[in-house]
Structure 1
Amino acid sequence: MPGPSSPLPPIIYTRPRPPQRIKIVPSDPTWRSIAFPAVAARLSSALGPSAIIALHHVGSTSVPDLPAKPIIDVNLIIADSTDEASYVPQLESAGFMFISRDPAWSERRYFVLLEDAPGDERPRDANGEAEYGVSLGVYGVADTAHVEDHLRLREWLSEHREDRELYVRAKRAAAEAVERGEAEGEEGSLTDRYHARKRGVVEEIVERMYKAGAGKGVEVVGVNIPGDVVHR
């Protein structure tokens, strides 16, 4: 993912991001077979299927055999992510908290599903907490470059065991460092520090992926990618 030649516009936070559990757990096939479809159904009910151009399960929980934080990362493509009045109220009514706007990240709007979302049927652990969280990135159909990157990386990690194992080691080391308090002096939330700690390995894998020409021509709309929901 090439860096820009000029400073990027800052992320605009609408409210503080709720804390996420920085814990790497074994890969769970139900993340893909049950959890993502449940999130897709919630989004379809909230927005109506005609408003959704595509939904993609991305991030570590979308990759078979990849241990991960139990967070279902979803990319939602609609007509225009900057037209917030057309979808933000509906998402908030469905239990998604609006966290930020990111002009430099394909005009992404970022949400998380609240623990007490209405009608929430996620399994609960012994402490009554949902067994998985949900992070939602909303993108407009005019700029899906970052969604394409996410899909390419998903495909690459699914097919390259060595890089999958390299990434797991980086994730575990980052999570352990944050848990030990080694990142206390670094900026941002615990989640930000976790991501910063593993960024170098992610960039190494992405560079290798692009040099190999992986994922060229991947489409995010108009084609049904296994495990995803594409309406048109």
Structure 2
Amino acid sequence: MDTPNRLINGVPIEAILREPVEIDPALAERIAYRTVKGPELAIVEPDPQWPDHFQTFKSRILAAFEEDHPQGGSDSASRVTILGIHHIGSTSVPTLPAKAVIDIDLVLSSNTLPFEPYYIPRLEAAGFQYLIREPAWHEHRFLAAWEPMSCNLHVWGPQCPEVERHRIFRDWLREHADDRELYARTKRECAALSREKGEVMDEYSMRKEGVIRQIRARAFRALGYLS
């Protein structure tokens, strides 16, 4: 089967299968430091309100893009449209324990530097603080909010393989209890070890990366993307 030439939502399967390279942290541009302390590294039982909180954040984002923000580049040449707002991460998977943080992928028609004056003021108006710019990683932008709970907002441009990887992983966990249980166990073990060693969130994420790749590979095979 010649899968590399196939497209999934406009993204070549070959790009989706390619594991992300480790990006030099020095390439990330720090815009600001959090005005509110981030959530603690703790895995909690699933909360039935998490989907409602996602909808709250989604509604705020949509409303901010509909409203006129003169400071946000109203000229048509700089206009940005929303292509997708997706609930991802563990809080998007029913019954899965998670850190109490809503993760969102916001996909824009363009998120590169020339378009920031259009979309960043709108996201700030929606209650998000702009924290990090990562041009080397699919032009990723990272923002955070804290009400009604902690939220990590990941901003991407169109046809981004990272967005597809997040979607595939989420959908697989929603449908496969065995991998959901494996991931829950891994998260708890990694969080406990990272707390014991005094590590931060990035080190916790790296600890569970091997299991994430195993689960993702099973999803890719089931979808016919890998033999």
Q: Same fold (TM over 0.5)?
A: yes
Report sequence identity in percent: 37
Equivalent residue, structure 1, for 2:31: 14
User: Among residues 13, 31, 38, which one is paired with 2:56 in the alignment?
Assistant: 38
Whole-angstrom distance in 1 between the partners of 2:108 and 2:65: 10
Equivalent residue, structure 1, for 2:214: 204
Give the Å deviation of 1:205: 1.1
User: Among residues 93, 113, 133, which one is paired with 1:63 in the alignment?
Assistant: 93
Structure number with bigger Rg? 2
User: Which of the pair is proportionally richer in helix?
Assistant: 2
Give structure 2 stretches of 5+ with no counterpart: 1-16, 68-79
Greater shift after overlay, 12-21 or 52-61?
12-21
Equivalent residue, structure 1, for 2:46: 27
Give structure 1 stretches of 5+ with no counterpart: 123-131, 185-189, 217-232
Higher relative contact order (CA 8 A, sep 6+): 1
Whole-angstrom distance in 2 between the partners of 1:215 and 1:74: 25
Normalising by structure 2, report the TM-score.
0.76
Which runs of structure 2 are paired with 1:52-201 in the superposition (5 Å)?
52-82=82-112, 83-113=115-145, 115=146, 120=147, 122=148, 132-141=149-158, 143-180=159-196, 182-184=197-199, 190-201=200-211
CA 1:195–1:4 in 2, change beyond 3 Å: closer, same or farther?
closer
| 1:124-175: CA deviation from partner (whole Å, max 9, x where unpaired) | xxxxxxxx3101011122x321111111111100111111111111100111
Whole-angstrom distance in 1 between the partners of 2:224 and 2:138: 21
Is the counterpart of residue 48 in structure 1 residue 78 in structure 2? no
Normalising by structure 1, report the TM-score.
0.75
| 1:13-46: CA deviation from partner (whole Å, max 9, x where unpaired) | 22345533211111122211x1111011111122
RMSD: 2.3
